[in-house]
Amino acid sequence: MGAATALYSATCFTVGKYGNGNPYPANICAAVGLSGWLPCAKTLSNKLQGVDEATRRAQSFPVLLCHGKGDDVVPFKFGEKSSKCLSSTGFQDVTFKAYNGLGHYTIPEEMDEVCAWLMTKLGLEGNSA
């Protein structure tokens, strides 16, 4: 449910409110979803239509989705569809990474790619931990 929560939070931030209409209080700058799905895919387009601020936020909001082709908990096609939905509704900085044979778990290669993506998107290059 972590990826679903992250992606839902990204869409709420973009629109500026939760699905129930309450204001979204957090200021987030990126979202990462591993082996997950987008809960509000069917209504996202309607929520973004005609809201200039939401459109602007979606265009610049970075999203990384990673999914294993062997996932038997959340099917790979759900991750693919989530990526396509975000891209088709105005999210212009969506990266989708597929991993052959990976199930519903993570591997060092995936974590390395997540770290590299975060370093780049959050402007952390050159900073050491």
**In this predicted structure, which of 42-46, 57-61, 99-103, 118-122 has the lowest mean pLDDT?**
42-46
Distance of CA 16 to the CA centre of its chain: 16
- How is residue 127 written in tokens? 């900073």
**Tokens standing for 41?**
């895919």
State if pTM tops 0.85: yes
What would the pLDDT profile of 41-92 be if each residue is shown by its tens digit? 888 888 888 788 899 999 999 999 999 999 999 999 999 999 999 999 999 9
pLDDT bin (cut points 50, 70, 90) of residue 127 is low
**What average pLDDT does range 18-44 have in this prediction?**
93
| Residue 76 near residue 44, CB atoms below 8 Å | no
Q: Within the chain, what is the greatest distance between any pair of CA atoms?
A: 42
Phi-psi region of 126 (alpha: psi -120 to 50; beta: other; left: phi over 0): left
In terms of pLDDT, which residue wins out, 55 or 128?
55
Inter-residue contact 104 to 51 (CB < 8 Å): no
